[in-house]
């Protein structure tokens, strides 16, 4: 029997979802710590300090929050202007409660040896791509059947 190298996916997305749920269940405010220098990270740059940004992702402050295995995405208002946020999972540094600081901070090297699907990141980020043009859709029409 030959030993094969076992590849496991990073724990970060699973732990992020669990900690987010725990923080919300306890009526605390979830803060997402992000490395804004990572490729494809789309956050409001005017709030980035020393390459990092803290985002308040409490349910009533964000719209359409999705924490997938690849990224954290949502829409929120910054200075009264709506902005779509895209944070690749390798840019998530931690998730903690504002009120008591409890949460989880991740090893920045966890993704060092992980093959990141850059095509998936490119297609999910808000950066325009030359292949995103869709064919024009047909106008709906009604017809009377006898």
3-state secondary structure 86-99: EEEHHHEEEEEECC
What is the structure's pLDDT at 96? 98
Q: What is the pTM of this model?
A: 0.76
Number of domains present in the structure of the chain: 1
Q: What is the CATH number of the domain that holds 84?
A: 2.30.30.220
For residue 143, is it within any domain? Answer: no
What is the structure's pLDDT at 89? 96
> Please, where are the H alpha helices in the chain?
12-25, 118-124
For residue 90, is it within any domain? Answer: yes
For residue 77, is it within any domain? Answer: yes
Residues in the chain: 146
- Report how far residue 49's alpha carbon sits from residue 47's, in angstroms, rounded to the nearest whole number: 6
For residue 126, is it within any domain? Answer: no
| pLDDT tens-digit profile, the chain (146 residues) | 445 667 788 999 999 999 999 999 999 999 999 999 999 999 999 999 999 999 999 999 999 999 999 999 999 999 889 999 999 999 999 999 999 999 999 988 888 777 666 655 555 554 433 444 444 555 555 566 66
For residue 121, is it within any domain? Answer: no
Long-range contacts of 57-63 (CB under 8 A, 24+ apart): 57/20, 57/30, 57/31, 57/32, 58/24, 58/29, 58/30, 59/24
Nearest to 122 by CA among 84, 70, 74, 75: 70
- DSSP reduced 3-state for 60: helix
What is the structure's pLDDT at 128? 39
Range(s) of the domain holding residue 93: 12-100
What is the structure's pLDDT at 142? 58
């Amino acid at each position: 029997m030959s030993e094969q190298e076992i590849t496991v996916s990073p724990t970060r997305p699973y732990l992020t979802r669990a900690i987010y749920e725990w923080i919300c269940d306890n009526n605390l405010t979830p803060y997402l710590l992000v490395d804004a220098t990572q490729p494809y990270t789309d956050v409001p740059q005017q709030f980035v300090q020393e390459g990092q940004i803290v985002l308040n992702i409490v349910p009533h402050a964000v719209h359409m929050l999705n924490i997938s295995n690849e990224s954290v995405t949502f829409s929120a208002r910054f200075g009264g202007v709506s902005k779509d946020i895209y944070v690749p999972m390798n840019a998530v540094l931690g998730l903690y409660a504002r009120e008591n600081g409890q949460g989880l901070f991740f090893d920045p090297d966890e993704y060092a040896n992980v093959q990141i699907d850059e095509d998936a990141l490119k297609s999910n980020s808000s950066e325009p791509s030359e292949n995103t043009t869709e064919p024009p859709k047909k106008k709906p029409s009604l017809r009377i059947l006898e």
